[in-house]
Amino acid sequence: MLASYFNAQIRPRFQLLSQDQIKQIHLASLDILERTGVRVMLQEALDLLEKAGAWVLSENMVKIPAHLVEEALRSAPSRIAIYDRNGSPAMNFEGFNTYFGPGTDTPFVMDIETGERRPTKGLDVSRVARLCDALPNIDFVASMGGVSAEECDPHLSDRLNFALMLSNTTKPILFTAWSLEGLKDIHRMASVICGGQKEFELKPFMIHYAEPITPLQHAPESMQKLLFCAE
């Protein structure tokens, strides 16, 4: 007989592709990077790639030999640890670990008081952060939306979004930054909370949500933020 009081935590594992299909995609990606190439629109990044052995051509085009990609993958850490704001372990990115949290950049919400659809405001960012902070099955916090143009300069809204989340949760924060300057300001806020840059590096509690522009090109802003994170 099974004990009725037995509890088990089940971790989902979503696997859409077989290992053979994953390998095929990987090999095709290596072929594209080496034969077709990608456009990298930042000279500093082009210089680093060329120094590493990539072939830099005209018009910001760079072709990356397969062995360089494989070497980079081998040098990448197999595990990344993320902490909460208090310095306690929160998430380990390794294997098939799965974590849950809200999304980002939702332009509209259903007002919880009136039931009406309206643009997202800073109040909503704060509410979502507090709600996620209280829910034990939510592992990290994201803004879901952002402050409106009426509330602050749109170029500064990324900083305010982060500050609102920072003020309403101790869980790890997934954030976006519109520019390198915004990322630097957000990084300074996080470092102050941790007690300094060295403490932040030892126990980071935030994740920068950034991605390239498809197809096969990397804008200057994306590369600047990526290089800053690498530093």
The pLDDT tens digits for 10-52 are 677 778 899 999 999 999 999 999 999 999 999 999 999 999 9
- Output the six-digit token pair for 143: 């803004």
The answer to whether 44 and 62 are in contact (CB under 8 A) is no
Confidence band of 147 (pLDDT split at 50, 70, 90)? confident
Confidence band of 119 (pLDDT split at 50, 70, 90)? very high
Q: How far apart are the first and last CA of the chain?
A: 57
64 and 129 in one domain?
no
189 and 214 in one domain?
yes
Q: Exposed (0-12), middle (13-18) or buried (19+): which is 161, by Cβ within 10 Å?
A: buried
30 and 47 in one domain?
yes
Average pLDDT, the chain: 92
Cα-Cα-Cα-Cα dihedral sign, residues 35, 209, 147, 155: negative
86 and 38 in one domain?
no
pLDDT of residue 213: 79
Which range has the worst mean pLDDT, 2-6, 87-91, 181-185, 227-231?
Answer: 2-6
204 and 147 in one domain?
yes
Number of domains in the chain: 2
pLDDT of residue 3: 54
Phi first, then psi: what are they for 207, rounded to 5°? -130, 125
Q: Is the pLDDT of residue 181 over 90?
A: yes
Structural domain span for residue 66? 19-75
Q: In residues, how long is the chain?
A: 231
Report if residue 125 sits inside a domain.
Answer: yes
Q: What angle do CA 192, 194, 197 make, to 5 degrees?
A: 70
Cα-Cα-Cα-Cα dihedral sign, residues 89, 92, 98, 99: positive
Report if residue 6 sits inside a domain.
Answer: no
More confident position, 55 or 107: 55
pLDDT of residue 7: 59
Q: Is the pTM of this model over 0.75?
A: yes
Of the residues 75, 97, 121, the one at which a domain ends: 75
State the Cα–Cα distance between residues 164 and 125, nearest whole angstrom.
7
Q: What is the mean pLDDT of residues 173-192?
A: 96
pLDDT of residue 6: 56
110 and 27 in one domain?
no
92 and 192 in one domain?
yes
Confidence band of 5 (pLDDT split at 50, 70, 90)? low
Burial 123-155 (b: 16+ CB within 10 A, else e): ebbbbbbeebeeeeebbbbbbbbbbbeeeeeee
Percent of the chain with pLDDT over 70: 95
